[in-house]
Amino acid sequence: MFSKANKNNSPKSSSVSTPKKRVAPSIISEDLSVTGNLSSEGEIQIDGRVTGDIQSKDILVGETAHIKGEIIAESIRVHGKVDGQIKAQNVSLAKSSHVVGDILHDNLSIETGAFLEGHCKRLAEGEFSLESDKKPLQEKPTSTTKSQASRNTQNTNKSASNEKKATA
């Protein structure tokens, strides 16, 4: 019953799992301003300014942070300012957070005092997957030339006058 022979003859499991390598979080400090999209497989801590879309596994938005763009992650903790849509399984808004934009979530927690202007929509079971949402982040046009702006204005004026003629 308690002999060593029985222990040596016991089958050993051949499925040994190797732990994933833990990587240090990427940090955007308070004095850093980034224009462009960010993508990471690990954690991103943002204390500075980001103008662009962010995609990561875990994101921490610090109190001094200001983000303008869409955020996609498994877990997001917001303590600072976000202007744009947030899509994540777990979203946590601290009392110091200021969010202007929609939140698509599985789990949502909002502390008393947090500011939120936008819609909250709970994702259906299995609707969120970071892997399926990983699409190449594309740069958005940042400005238009004067000629493009004047053409857009002319087209708008023409369509408005056509609508007036149609209703008359």
- pLDDT, residue 108, reads 95
Question: Does pTM surpass 0.75?
Answer: no
Q: Which of 88, 87, 81, 47 is nearest to 67 (CA)?
A: 81
**Beta strands per DSSP E along 18-152:** 26-28, 33-35, 38-39, 43-46, 49-51, 54-61, 66-68, 71-78, 81-83, 86-93, 98-100, 103-110, 115-117, 120-122
pLDDT, average across residues 8-30: 68
Q: Which two tokens stand for residue 149?
A: 């702006």
In angstroms, the CA 81 to CA 91 distance is 14
Q: Which of 114, 63, 61, 64 is nearest to 86 (CA)?
A: 61
- pLDDT, residue 7, reads 53
- Average pLDDT over all residues of the chain: 79
pLDDT at 122 over 70: yes
Between these two residues, 142 and 26, which has the higher pLDDT value? 26
- pLDDT, residue 125, reads 77
In angstroms, the CA 101 to CA 85 distance is 5
Sole residue written with tokens 């708008």: 156
Q: Which two tokens stand for residue 3?
A: 């002999």
- pLDDT, residue 22, reads 72
- pLDDT, residue 25, reads 87
What is the radius of gyration, based on Cα positions, of the chain?
A: 24
Note the helical H segments in the chain: 4-9, 130-133, 146-167
